[in-house]
Amino acid sequence: MTIQFSRRLAIVAGFVLPIVETVRRWHQLGDLAVWPFWLDDWAIGGFLLYGAWSTRRDIAGGRPVLAAAWGFACGVGYGRLFSPLATVDRRGPSGVWTVVVVTVKGVMLAVAIVALVATLAWRPAGGKPA
């Protein structure tokens, strides 16, 4: 995997993740108590887009921001993956079985970890760490 993979994935995830989570919880948007459960996806999306934007002209300079964005996504994703395990036999807020949601979140977390590793492993053309 390359930093270009990480950057492109950040752009896609930065747009798709907040939209999908908002659609999934659309019927709950009037309840302020559940806002943290979808606003964190907007924070992840914004941070990933900023990370991708920061690497558009200067990969070495923007790489720490992109890595931090992926690290944030991994940290939030970890908590969001394991928190619903107690209710895996029920349907979630969207009506989808929680086991399906947990599986999707698990795949998303694994991809985010791969993107984080790709970002951290990138080296400039000279081969020295940035």
Buried b (16+ CB within 10 A) or exposed e, 62-101: bbebbbbbbbbbbebbeebbeeeeeeeeeebebeeebbeb
Instruction: Provide the domain limits for residue 88.
Output: 3-121
The answer to whether residue 96 scores a pLDDT higher than 80 is: no
* pLDDT of res. 46: 96
pTM: 0.83
* pLDDT of res. 123: 81
The answer to whether residue 37 sits within a structural domain is yes
* pLDDT of res. 105: 87
Number of compact structural domains in the chain: 1
